[in-house]
Structure 1
């Protein structure tokens, strides 16, 4: 049994550095973590009577560090940095209660349908970031597939153009966000793809202290569809009905084996909201009561806001209200787990 409901923050954690990129001193933390576990009576995760999984959605430099490609500042401008200070503190204070951490990793290449390189206007120019591409704009010729990419993507130009129109139409018909041209971000092999240093350190420390292997999930490398949710892409089929990608039943099965699933990360309006929505649909299809084991850390996530361009705050808040109405719990990271509905005390 762990000694106290909430643990102190370890000496190495510096909240002032959460918004910076630095090298995690793995060897030092690997030596400190077991001693920390012994000092505070933290047992191996395999012994947990109540199994709790923390899903950290896309807590990567590209979204969370000021000055990076798609920094999620929210309306405050400091959103993701503040969120990650609280997320790190949540991990450390509940080190003995979190059984496993599951980070998702948005993973991209230059040649993808939502990056400027993929599209051309009649003059041969690429769209600027945050351009919304409607089906009408594709039909009219305002935007077309870049034929120079066809050999590298292994697709005929005519087929890629049909795919582009079908994609934009499918998004509109399903009520999803329009095809958005994003800045190049989360590029595989780049520094933006990496976890935020402070969060990476917390995940590493937890893994060593609890003998718990973090379960990383990669998403988003399909060139022909956006992939906000880790559970599945935005569009599943091409114009001829051929499969573009599939939803991850395995990911859902894994989560539903836990007694509680806690979700945080970036961005509240996109990858977080879409992941939760997919999880909710999967849970409702099996047993509506399963939604009650999901907890959303409302103070560890922020919406996409770009001054003068887009603001998804209202959409994100509406999504969280919908999730709460469906039975999920919207909670704050600073509240002790014992005070969350449905979470047992250590003596239960």
Structure 2
């Protein structure tokens, strides 16, 4: 990527609104995007010599706004808000060079393996969200067991099979070196406002789509009730206790990403969905051609780790993961340093 003249930020972009929820005025922005493209001689994305994809992981209200369920504050306490401000500015500055924007959408319903209602103890209590990790020993000893009442909704009433799966699941996480099963607050609920993209990010993506005649590549993840799905490229566990498949890696999306000349990655959270997605992408790269790692750019100032003050801090794990990615050949950069070439 070589130096080029960057674009200004449109006058409508209000940095103070990045932390708010509001309706994007689509028709107005569409007209402005057409005018912007004409004023700055922005060509359709199909004319790009270098095909560049901006992969935005889970820039949703549920993770990115302080009053929502799983706000990623990082150690600063304002992490995701600051990240999205820089991300929006990056999109606008490089509007004429970003070919495609691919936003991922964490998508859940109530009864999933990482939500409180899925589990119950002898006292009939559900685990406390964000403060409970369910280990293999917990399930083996019956400290936590599957809530019998959910079997009808997600296992056709077969409770024993569901309990067998739960034991297999936590065992598999342990064997594969994954994070223990964390019980999260209900979040990214399908149909809810928390599921929506942050308004300012949605606006920037929409503006890009119109100005560049480039459809955003939305990728949905996380709807399987039997497994977590931090990474957009594959669920945490792919098979059940009988060896039969319960999920698949996202092969078509992996191929699509690796078909670009450059892949730029931002989003939330650095310690979980971002790190896991990059890790899975690196696994695919190493299986094909390790030189492909050089075309991956990680915007380290547009992502933050999960930090729950007094409970858990994943900053060190997130930083260690990024160091490992850099050692493999990926580029860890700041959004203000990365200048794209159209």
TM-score when normalising by structure 2 = 0.97
Alignment of 1:34-53 (within 5 A): 34-53=34-53
Residue 276 of structure 2: SS of its match in structure 1? Answer: helix
CA distance in 1, matches of 2:338, 2:185: 38
Residue 184 of structure 1: SS of its match in structure 2? Answer: coil
Q: State the partner residue of 2:186.
A: 184
Q: State the partner residue of 1:28.
A: 28
**Which deviations, in whole Å up to 9, do the C-alpha atoms of 1:207-253 show, x marking residues without a partner?**
00000000000000000000000000000111110111000110110
Segments ≥4 residues shifted beyond 6 Å: none
CA distance in 1, matches of 2:21, 2:305: 22
Residue 67 of structure 1: SS of its match in structure 2? Answer: coil
Alignment of 1:24-173 (within 5 A): 24-130=24-130, 131-155=132-156, 156-173=158-175
**Cα RMSD over matched residues?**
1.1
Contact 1:6–1:336 at 8 Å: present in 2 too? no
Instruction: Give the stretch that moved more between structures: 314-323 or 327-336.
Output: 327-336
Q: State the partner residue of 1:342.
A: none
- Report the CA distance between 1:309 and its aligned residue: 1.2
Q: State the partner residue of 1:341.
A: none
Q: State the partner residue of 2:323.
A: 321
- Report the CA distance between 1:160 and its aligned residue: 0.7
- Report the CA distance between 1:154 and its aligned residue: 2.6
- Report the CA distance between 1:310 and its aligned residue: 1.0
Contact 1:120–1:126 at 8 Å: present in 2 too? yes
* Aligned equivalent of 2:297, options 272, 295, 308: 295
User: Can you give the 5+ residue segments of structure 1 that lack an aligned partner in the other structure?
Assistant: 339-344
Residue 337 of structure 1: SS of its match in structure 2? Answer: coil
**Which deviations, in whole Å up to 9, do the C-alpha atoms of 1:42-88 show, x marking residues without a partner?**
11100000110000000000000011000000010000000000000
User: Can you give the 5+ residue segments of structure 2 that lack an aligned partner in the other structure?
Assistant: none
Contact 2:58–2:103 at 8 Å: present in 1 too? yes
CA distance in 2, matches of 1:335, 1:219: 30
Contact 2:155–2:162 at 8 Å: present in 1 too? no
CA distance in 2, matches of 1:232, 1:51: 24
Matched, 1:275 2:277: yes
- Report the CA distance between 1:111 and its aligned residue: 0.2
